[in-house]
Amino acid sequence: MTEKQFSHNFEKAEEDLPPRKVYSFTDYPQIEALLPFNLESSHYSQGVPIAVDLGRTAVRVGMAGTRDPFLNFPTLSARYRDRKTNRPSTFVGYDVFFESTIKANMRNPYDGQMLTNWEAVEKIFDFSFLHLGVDSDSKVSNPIVMNETLATPLSQRQNLSQILFETYNVPSVAYGVDSLFSYYQNDGKSGMVVGTNHEATHVIPVLDSRPLIDISKRINVGGHQLYDFMKCSIGLKYPYFPTRLNDWQIQSLVQDHCFVSKDFGQEIRHSLDLDYLEKNDITIEAPFNEIIKEEKTEEQLKLEEQKRKENIKKLQDQAKVKRLEKLQLKQKDFEYYTKIKDSFNTMTKREVIDTIREAGFDDEADLNKYLSNLEKSLKKAKLLDTNDDDESGDDESKYDFSLLDKPSAELNPEELKEKRRLRLIKSNIDSKIRARKEKEEAIREAEEVRQKDIEFRNTDLENWTKQKRQLLDNVVKRRKERIKLKDELGDRKSRASQQRMRNIASLADDGPAGNSGNQNGSGNGNNKRRHNVTIDNDPNDTFGANDDDWAIYRDIAGVDDEELSAEELEEIYLLEKQLLEFDPNFTMEDTQERQFNYRNSTIHKFLRGPRDFDNEDQHQLHQIHLNVERIRIPEIMFQPSITGIDQAGVVEVVEDTLLRRLPQELGFSGDISACEPVKNVFKDIFLTGGCTLFPNFQERMEKEVRMFSPTNVPFNVRVAKDPMLDAWRGMAKWAYNEYKLNNSKGFWTRQQYDEFGIHYMTENGFGCINLT
């Protein structure tokens, strides 16, 4: 049963908008075979440096002097033991996605920005060197160039160098920051390098190919923080989403659908406008097994419809019989208590009090209230019964009731049987005639009330509108409280739910009343609890005497009070219709339909986008909408405080470095437009790393730099040609140039490692290589 709808029809039909594009989640890659060995295309040769970019998300390995890395795979490894052979195996890179059992054991060697799983690092090196085609005997005869994070701890270099020198016997190693290698690949000399990676963002000024490490800064915001924020946002936005999103899917949401806002403050204010949502709201659907209903033939549909009508007719007949039974019981009860009340005229005050208490009432007012409620219930039941009966059933001309006037002693058994049948028919017809008259009387009274209302409106419109508005507010308030109570009852810890359990316990503990004699032969005793009319007429069951009890029953049974909701909606609709017609201050915007329209609901637009939502559509139940998140996630780069990180954004750090720290480092004071080194840095603000791939990132940086840069100092903001691969290409380019010049100045040799030990690295600054 669906709720009856009432509408003023003031809302125009929704325009024929094109269907919205639905994207799918990007899941883990599906591979059909393990990575083969392709040694011919690796271009391996002994003595040529090998560039290894061991990043947090990807590993890139290749020979120096080549354009692109030969290997590019995720920084993942997994240990797996075959149950049949009981042999352990290690899988690296995309091979971990070969089977689900292997994928379940995948691990990353990083913990934050630091390498912690050195066994996994060694497996990654084995995988890389084998696929690259290293054929040296128990050693790698090639110099190694590797990346490292800015200001890496000594323990990181120590463990990594021990693996390379002692396990693989490499002749020399060079370390460098990946963003500086990317700057070198893009022919940078002097500038401000802004490098973003998975865990942090680094701001490094460079003068004449020399990085100024002393005034470099790190911001603890990178891809990882963006992914975590997206994961938390989706979890809070859709707490009951039927599918659990994995890390790969979360990363795809950020990488594929987010962009940097050119004016975040202005755009976020309009991010839930319908026009904005139509253009920028993204719908992503999770995979699920859709249950396709079998299409039935026309004949099957007709048979089902016929069967459904028969069932409805059967249920209606059963309900009618029960309703008549209840009506008769209520009628007897009403007559019994009316007779008691009428007998008060011949009793003393003391006798009246005793009679009322014997009947189970507190006082006469309690008895009158009970009779009043019972009378209203009888009228309503009779009117309902009258509407269900056909008019032809009340025609007395169809029957001959003369047999009822004859004495029973003069009738034979067949005539006695017919007399009883006619008496029942006569009683039924008389009851219907009385009910019809009562209905006509109710219609007449309603018409009188309506006429009085019209007269009141014509004579005093101001007070009439005030009264109607008050009535409307009361109905709306009552409806909201009922809906709120219904929602609270779904939470077993709420106050309403606990009160309901106390009511249930109270009903269960209510013992049966004592037996007492029957006073009028109607089956009713002298205790009110035994006279209350119930469905099964149990004299010990008092539930239902109070109309509010049925609300408790509906809560316990889990049945929606749809009838009550329909009555409230109809009353609201009629009041609003009158106010719209006669109250000039009451507009369409004041109606409940307009206020609860999904187009005006901020929550709906945030959760479900600019279109209507069907909670029975399986596709829509498995969809999420990205709107505010598309600009809010990348904004963390500029405002880390959004996620609670107490640090400055990338623009603020660049501004502080350019205007204050860099001139101080150079020993310059005064107008920076007169300082050529600072002006050279302004001319080349270089962006690299995965986060710079967001659309509008460069435009946003240009806008922010323009706001703080001096008017007479020109500036330029540029992005790396390939923010993802230029770091490795810079490593390979620098290493190959050193190899051709036979220059090992930037490398740390095995002889130096054996002679000076691991602490030698802290003295020569190999952490950031001189890129000259």
Tens-place pLDDT, residues 352-386: 888 888 887 878 888 888 888 888 777 766 666 65
Domains of the chain: which residue ranges?
43-184+724-764, 187-220+647-719, 225-288+593-636
How far is the CA of 576 from the CAs of 56, 208, 452, 564, 588, in angstroms? 62, 76, 19, 18, 9
Residue 296 one-letter amino acid: K
| Rounded CA separation 746/765 (Å) | 10
| Rounded CA separation 214/218 (Å) | 12
pLDDT band at residue 502 using 50, 70 and 90 as cut-offs: confident
pLDDT band at residue 770 using 50, 70 and 90 as cut-offs: very low
Residue 354 one-letter amino acid: D
pLDDT tens, position by position, 444-494: 888 888 888 888 888 888 888 888 889 888 888 888 888 787 777 766 677
Higher-confidence residue of 438 and 543: namely 438
| Rounded CA separation 584/574 (Å) | 16
Sequence-separated (6 or more) residues with CB below 8 Å from residue 687: 194, 196, 697, 698, 701, 717, 718, 719, 720, 723
pLDDT band at residue 518 using 50, 70 and 90 as cut-offs: very low
Low-confidence winner among 234-238, 342-346, 541-545, 674-678 (lowest mean pLDDT): 541-545
Higher-confidence residue of 198 and 387: namely 198
pLDDT given for residue 69 in this prediction? 93
pLDDT given for residue 75 in this prediction? 94
CB contact at 8 A, 277 and 610: yes
Higher-confidence residue of 483 and 287: namely 287
- Nearest Cα to Cα of residue 151 among 772, 731, 762, 657: 762
Mean pLDDT of 640-658: 93
Residue 423 one-letter amino acid: R
pLDDT given for residue 395 in this prediction? 56
Higher-confidence residue of 480 and 595: namely 480
CA dihedral over 539, 540, 541, 546, signed as positive or negative = positive
Low-confidence winner among 512-516, 616-620, 687-691 (lowest mean pLDDT): 512-516
pLDDT band at residue 690 using 50, 70 and 90 as cut-offs: very high
Give the helix, strand, coil percentages of the chain, each rounded to 5.
55, 10, 35
How far is the CA of 680 from the CAs of 667, 668, 770, in angstroms? 16, 15, 19
Fold identical between 43-184+724-764 and 225-288+593-636? no
**Tokens 């790393």 belong to residue:** 689
749 pairs with which residues across the strands? Answer: 172
pLDDT tens, position by position, 597-612: 667 788 889 999 998 8
Low-confidence winner among 159-168, 210-219, 227-236, 665-674 (lowest mean pLDDT): 665-674
Task: Inform me whether the pLDDT recorded for 78 exceeds 70.
Answer: yes
| Rounded CA separation 254/233 (Å) | 12
Mean pLDDT of 164-182: 91
| Rounded CA separation 623/241 (Å) | 9
Higher-confidence residue of 21 and 550: namely 21
| Rounded CA separation 219/287 (Å) | 37
Class at the top of the CATH hierarchy for domain 187-220+647-719: alpha beta
Here the tokens at position 206 are: 């460079």
CA-derived radius of gyration, the chain: 42
Tell me the pLDDT of the chain averaged across its residues. Answer: 82
Burial annotation 359-389 (CB, 10 A radius, 16+ → b, else e): bbbeeeeebeebbeebeebbeebbbebbeee
pLDDT tens, position by position, 522-531: 444 444 443 4
Residue 721's CB is within 10 A of a number of other CB atoms, namely: 12
| Rounded CA separation 180/147 (Å) | 10
Here the tokens at position 625 are: 């909408």
Task: Inform me whether the pLDDT recorded for 702 exceeds 80.
Answer: yes
pLDDT given for residue 333 in this prediction? 82
Sequence-separated (6 or more) residues with CB below 8 Å from residue 772: 208, 209, 210
Higher-confidence residue of 514 and 406: namely 406
CB contact at 8 A, 209 and 182: no
Low-confidence winner among 10-14, 51-55, 384-388, 725-729 (lowest mean pLDDT): 10-14
- Nearest Cα to Cα of residue 744 among 242, 261, 143, 223: 143
- Nearest Cα to Cα of residue 625 among 637, 612, 636, 634: 612
Sequence-separated (6 or more) residues with CB below 8 Å from residue 55: 75, 147, 178, 197, 198
Helix (H) or strand (E) holding 626: strand 623-626
CB contact at 8 A, 730 and 738: no
- Name the architecture of domain 225-288+593-636: Alpha-Beta Complex (3.90)
pLDDT band at residue 594 using 50, 70 and 90 as cut-offs: low
Mean pLDDT of 167-184: 91
| Rounded CA separation 239/228 (Å) | 16
| Rounded CA separation 300/724 (Å) | 61
Of how many residues is the chain composed?
772
pLDDT given for residue 764 in this prediction? 40
Q: Choose the CATH number for 43-184+724-764 among 3.40.30.10, 3.30.420.40, 3.10.105.10, 2.40.50.180.
A: 3.30.420.40
Higher-confidence residue of 42 and 157: namely 157
CB contact at 8 A, 134 and 738: no
Task: Inform me whether the pLDDT recorded for 243 exceeds 60.
Answer: yes
